[in-house]
Structure 1
Amino acid sequence: MENYFETTLTADQIRTISSIGLAHLGDAVFELLVRTWLCAHGKATGKGLHQATIRLVCAESQSEKAQRILPLLTEEELAVFKRGRNAQVHSVPGHASRAQYGEATALEALLGWLYLQGRRERINQLFCMMMEE
């Protein structure tokens, strides 16, 4: 049985996953980190936790956070980010611009890509920089 909590795929396996697939996984990675951050910092309780999570994981917020880390990305990470930003999405939420949604998708694709490589430390490093106040 595989351990899906500690999944690490080869570079060839990861290359077979679409940018949308990477973003799908990265969305969950980012939301888990945000939820953990909110609980660990006592930022909200009850219904407030859900609302705070939504504010931080929405496309507008993710786009802004992506801008914070762009200068820190390696060449390879930037290539994955750009691939994610250029992914063909078929719908954009009404509260976000197409550019914001593209940046959010790019961030999620990067996080999914790093996660599948088992690079948890790099994810945490980037996440901490995104969450600096």
Structure 2
Amino acid sequence: MESRSAKKTGSSEAQAECAMVEELLEDTISMEKQGAFDEAPNLSPLALAYVGDSIYDFRVRDFLCRRYQENLNRVNSRKTKLVCAKAQSDLMGYLIEEKLLTEEELSVYRRARNHKSQSHSKNSSITDYRRATGFEAFLGYLYYAGKISRLISLVEKGLEHLLAENEAKE
């Protein structure tokens, strides 16, 4: 059982991280409104996935900080379950099943999913790993295309779906 001081420290850490995340979010949306993103560059699928991976990690942290005002260890435990290849694969499957993506977005996803990679995660199937890579590339594409609001909206819909599925299993 946690002591009161440990709970208070965890809570203030979570609040500080949430405040930092909110500031970054506001800066990004401000950049979008100012037209700081001109066009999505013609980056390789793996480069888009590389950037998309960090964007997804950030979006999950932001989502969880806003949703759960609790100890950071618990928030991080939730985050870990949502950033794995299986969860990303499931999230992408949901977006495709619900027909939430444009043909252009699906094209970016497929190009990255089908790209031959040198390795894959030891903790996931090759199918989940490739789908997750496609998902991350799709997010990188949205970021570089300046479609930040769409990126946030789609990720949050997917996260809501994953959390609802997890709660139904428990």
RMSD between superposed Cα atoms in Å: 1.7
Comparing 38-47 and 59-68, the one that deviates more: 38-47
**Identity fraction in percent:** 33
Q: What's 1:57 paired with?
A: 83
Deviations 1:73-115 (A, max 9, x none): 1110110010110122211112100000011000100000000
Q: Structure 1 or 2: larger helix share?
A: 2
Comparing 109-118 and 47-56, the one that deviates more: 47-56
Q: Pick from 129, 134, 152: which aligns with 1:106? A: 134
Greater length-normalized contact order (CA 8 Å, ≥ 6 residues apart):
1
Contact kept? 2:63, 2:156, Cα under 8 Å: no
- What is the alpha-carbon distance in structure 2 between the residues aligned to residue 88 and residue 45 of structure 1? 40
Task: Letter of the 2:94 partner, please give it.
Answer: R
Q: What's 1:124 paired with?
A: 152
Structure 1 portions without partners, runs of 5+: none
Aligned residues: 127
The structural deviation recorded for 1:50 is 2.1
3-state SS of 2:71 partner:
coil
Structure 2 portions without partners, runs of 5+: 1-26, 165-170
Task: Letter of the 1:61 partner, please give it.
Answer: A
Pick the structure with greater CA Rg: 2
Following superposition, which runs of at least 4 residues in structure 1 exceed 3 angstroms of deviation? 4-7
Aligned counterparts, 1:1-133, within 5 A: 5=28, 6=31, 8-11=37-40, 14-15=41-42, 17-42=43-68, 44-70=70-96, 71-132=99-160, 133=164
The structural deviation recorded for 1:46 is 2.3
Comparing 123-132 and 41-50, the one that deviates more: 41-50
Scaled by the length of structure 2, the TM-score of the pair is 0.69
